[in-house]
Amino acid sequence: MKGFVQAIRDGEKGLVFRNSVFLPFHLEILSIWIGKEMSLIAVPDVYTDFSEGNGHIAVRSGDTYTNIVFRKGGDLRKEFGHHKGHIIIHAAEKGADIFRHENRHYIKVGFTNKHTLEFELIDDPFYL
């Protein structure tokens, strides 16, 4: 399976169903931020605990995908669809040395009008 950097450059798309997102690649997740676009007063939710039973996020991997379930979330597509919000995933390629700065990337996950997710590699999540 190709890494997420190449998958994003190739324009691969993901899926969202209610509180569950499916990414067409594997990755080593360091943190996840979820928030609304263009909000000056809202602070994004930041998740760093991906252990089983954490109550907030569940992560599972299939042969060709990664599934992230926001257990306490509602319908993500309704809340963030039409580009009203996004998820930022701070991650490294699966098997990469996470202690090397050049191996860590920010992935912006955008919600379109259907069940489709779009991905973009960004340099700094504070300047979107």
8 CB neighbour count, 10 Å cutoff: 19
Q: Dig out the tokens for 10 from the structure.
A: 């190739």
Per-residue model confidence as pLDDT tens digits over 43-78 = 677 888 777 777 788 899 899 999 999 887 778 888
The more confidently predicted of residues 112 and 4 is 4
One-character DSSP codes across the chain: ---HHHHHHTT--EEEETTEEEESS--EEEEEEEEETT-SS---EEE---STT-SSEEEEE-SS-EEEEETT---HHHHHTTTTEEEEEEEE-TTS-TTSGGGEEEEEEEE-SSSEEEEEEES-TT--
pLDDT tops 70 at residue 37: no
- Return the domain boundaries, the chain: 4-122
Cα separation, 92 vs 20, in Å, equals 21
Average pLDDT in the chain:
85
Question: For the whole model, what pTM was predicted?
Answer: 0.87
